[in-house]
Amino acid sequence: MAANVGCVIMTSMATYAIGDIQGCYETLCRLLDRIGYTRGQDRLWLVGDLINRGPSSEKVLRWAYEQGDSVQTVLGNHDLHLLAVATGVRPITAGDTLQAVLDAPDADQLIEWLRHRPLLVEENGWLMVHAGLHPSWDASLAISYARELEAALQGPTWQTFLTESRKKPCPGHADECHSPEDHQRYRLAVLTRMRALHPDHRLDLDYKGPLDSMAPTLHPWFAVTPRASADHRIVCGHWAALGVHHHGGVFSLDSGCVWGGSLTALRLEDTTLFSEPAADSR
């Protein structure tokens, strides 16, 4: 692991990227105390999946909303699932912990805020995305794809966009996309669901396990070479079984808090890691 693990607090403004929170509000609060987060001075980058599976999705979502410009978050697959549930595109499924969000008095406000979050953030040579970037995408191409998807999600026909993105299996390869809807589903899957790729760079959206159990015909997306986005450092999440992992400028921060692991923050200025053991009961 190239990054350092520590608890030294910087007195000047810092930016901390935080892994998948998934409704673990108590652990989040403890991690923020650990890093000495000060609203209005420090900034937080949240790698998506703010909600679901954990016990306090509504508290996490409301907290993020209330932080204003101090928080920047990208959409993850669980966040998109909430938007789909809220619009009736998908039903709540077993294991979801979204009802408290839907029943909240400020539910409409929180849902509107969430659907206006980006899918990709770029700043000072860093990219933040929930799952990853396809090895064939450089930063410019990835940003253009993300902005196109964001415009659809934030526009007046956003419910139709969610319906189209969910109603058919996702193409596994860009060459299999034959319509604008195919391209959108594929690109959204890359940004929010990708972990492993086949040798021909086809998406494998089924594998969720650790690296040492991966079939030899599969490769983690960040280990494929050449990777067109290698000129940027990338912070992401989504892969709990991978844990905190650093490879070639990619920092994966999902340390499985909702599964009893920990919640991890990465200080971007010096790549120091901070970890807080899970404190929320599922």
| Residue 276 in tokens | 């807080």
Give the pLDDT confidence score for residue 141 in this predicted structure: 98
Residue 98 forms part of a structural domain: yes
Pairwise CA distance, residues 263 & 51, whole Å: 14
Residue 57 forms part of a structural domain: yes
Pairwise CA distance, residues 122 & 143, whole Å: 8
Residue the block writes with tokens 């990777």? 227
Residue 87 forms part of a structural domain: yes
Query: Are 99 and 51 members of one domain?
Result: yes
Give the pLDDT confidence score for residue 8 in this predicted structure: 44
Domain boundary among 160, 187, 218: 218
Domain boundary among 77, 93, 117: 117
Query: Are 110 and 72 members of one domain?
Result: yes
Residue 153 forms part of a structural domain: yes
Give the pLDDT confidence score for residue 72 in this predicted structure: 98
Contact 279, 26 (CB under 8 A): yes
Q: How many CB atoms lie within 10 A of CB 139?
A: 18
Give the pLDDT confidence score for residue 168 in this predicted structure: 79
Query: Are 56 and 91 members of one domain?
Result: yes
Residue 270 forms part of a structural domain: no
Residue 128 forms part of a structural domain: no
Give the pLDDT confidence score for residue 10 in this predicted structure: 47
Residue 166 forms part of a structural domain: yes
Pairwise CA distance, residues 122 & 29, whole Å: 26
Give the pLDDT confidence score for residue 281 in this predicted structure: 80
Give the pLDDT confidence score for residue 5 in this predicted structure: 45
Tell me the CATH number at 27: 3.60.21.10
**Which structural domain range is residue 78 located in?**
23-117
Give per-residue pLDDT as tens, 21-44.
999 999 999 999 999 999 999 999
Residue 183 forms part of a structural domain: yes
Query: Are 139 and 210 members of one domain?
Result: yes
| Residue ranges of the chain with per-residue pLDDT less than 70 | 1-11
Domain boundary among 180, 195, 218: 218
Contact 254, 47 (CB under 8 A): yes
Q: Which DSSP letter does residue 282 get?
A: -
Give the pLDDT confidence score for residue 167 in this predicted structure: 78
Domain total in the chain = 2
Query: Are 72 and 137 members of one domain?
Result: no
Give the pLDDT confidence score for residue 198 in this predicted structure: 97
Q: How many CB atoms lie within 10 A of CB 282?
A: 14
Give the pLDDT confidence score for residue 9 in this predicted structure: 46
